């Protein structure tokens, strides 16, 4: 099984100066509708994408057509490939989980940006390091855990990245179907449904269609 997991919390824009942010703002920006493919393996875009708004999914497709989601990136993240710089996305499909606004950064623009913002370079390293670390951990969890623990691990990760606290719950601000969750933990849609309703019955999570909240107290121990 090809199991990778990239989850990065870091907002790449934080370290940029106002001046550069304005430049980015002027850059060609495109919007991609939900479900549309942004990139696929082998496609040599030679650009870095700055994700201004929305969420994208990185996934692979196995020979039998099964999708495996290897990561989800949210606002302020960066992905893509240019000759001297790779974010590890050259061999994955990327599609939009929701309507997405992004701008494409060409090689020279990126170089310029780095030159103007030494801190940005550090941030980039941090982002990529973080992805590797997450990937490692996730691989481990997938190898050792039963389905329930894998799902819990995933929900906690999603909560860290996309969650907002609401009383005793953390609401996951990301619309995912059970099928999509299944694609992330390498399980079937049905078994994911079963585990989720189990957790729901135990008041560990709350579910609605494409909406999940997790109980803060129940999962406190899982957070770092």
Partner DNA sequence: TCATTAATGTGTT
Partner DNA sequence: AACACATTAATGA
Choose, by CB under 7 A, the member of 194, 206, 218, 219 that binds DNA: 194
- Binding flags for DNA, 147-186, as an x/- string (CB under 7 A): x-----------------------------xxx-------
DSSP secondary structure string, 167-201?
Answer: TTEEEE-S---HHHHHHHHT--HHHHHHHHHHHHH
The least distance separating DNA from the CB of residue 218, rounded to whole angstroms, comes to 18
Cα dihedral across residues 132, 86, 103, 71: positive or negative: negative
CB neighbour list of residue 150: distance below 8 Å, 6 or more residues apart: 141, 142, 185, 186, 187
The smaller minimum CB distance to DNA, of residues 28 and 208, is found at: 208
| 218 neighbors 204 (Cβ within 8 angstroms) | yes
The least distance separating DNA from the CB of residue 197, rounded to whole angstroms, comes to 5
* Residues in 110-149 that interact with DNA by CB under 7 A: 147
- Only segment of 50-58, 81-89, 156-164, 189-197 that touches DNA (CB under 7 A): 189-197
The smaller minimum CB distance to DNA, of residues 13 and 68, is found at: 68
Choose, by CB under 7 A, the member of 36, 136, 140, 190 that binds DNA: 190
Choose, by CB under 7 A, the member of 187, 199, 205, 214 that binds DNA: 187
Which residue(s) pair with 37 in the sheet?
95
- Only segment of 17-25, 132-140, 165-173, 192-200 that touches DNA (CB under 7 A): 192-200
Cα dihedral across residues 114, 15, 12, 220: positive or negative: positive
Q: Does 189 bind DNA (CB under 7 A)?
A: yes
The least distance separating DNA from the CB of residue 199, rounded to whole angstroms, comes to 10
Q: Does 196 bind DNA (CB under 7 A)?
A: yes
* Residues in 197-216 that interact with DNA by CB under 7 A: 197, 200, 207-210
The least distance separating DNA from the CB of residue 166, rounded to whole angstroms, comes to 18
Q: What is the 3-state secondary structure (H, E, C) of 116-161?
A: HCHHHHHHHHHHHHHHHHHHHHHHHHHHHCCHHHHHHHHHHHHHHH
Token pair 């999962």 is found at 219
# of chain residues touching DNA (CB under 7 A) = 18
Tell me the C-alpha distance between 142 and 179, whole Å. Answer: 17
DSSP 12: G
**Where on the chain is the footprint of DNA (CB under 7 A)?**
147, 177-179, 187-191, 193-194, 196-197, 200, 207-210
């Amino acid at each position: 099984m090809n199991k990778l997991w990239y989850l990065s919390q870091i907002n790449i824009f934080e370290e940029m100066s106002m001046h550069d942010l304005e430049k980015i703002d002027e850059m060609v920006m495109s919007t991609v509708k939900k479900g549309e493919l942004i990139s696929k393996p082998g496609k040599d875009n030679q650009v870095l994408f700055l994700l201004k708004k929305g969420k994208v999914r990185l996934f692979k497709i196995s020979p039998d057509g099964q999708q495996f989601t290897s990561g989800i990136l949210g606002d302020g993240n960066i992905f893509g490939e240019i000759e001297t710089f790779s974010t590890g996305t050259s061999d994955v499909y990327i599609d939009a989980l929701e309507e997405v606004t992004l701008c494409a950064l060409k090689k020279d623009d990126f170089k310029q940006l780095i030159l103007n913002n030494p801190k940005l370079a550090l941030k980039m390293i941090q982002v990529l390091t973080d992805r590797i670390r997450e990937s490692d951990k996730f691989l481990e969890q997938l190898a050792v855990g039963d389905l329930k623990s894998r799902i819990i691990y995933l929900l906690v990760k999603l909560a860290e990245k996309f969650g907002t606290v609401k009383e005793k719950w953390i609401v996951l601000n990301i619309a995912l179907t059970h099928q999509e969750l299944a694609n992330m933990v390498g399980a079937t849609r049905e078994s994911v449904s079963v585990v989720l309703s189990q957790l729901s019955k135990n008041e560990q999570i709350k579910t609605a269609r494409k909406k999940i909240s997790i109980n803060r107290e129940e999962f406190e121990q899982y957070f770092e």
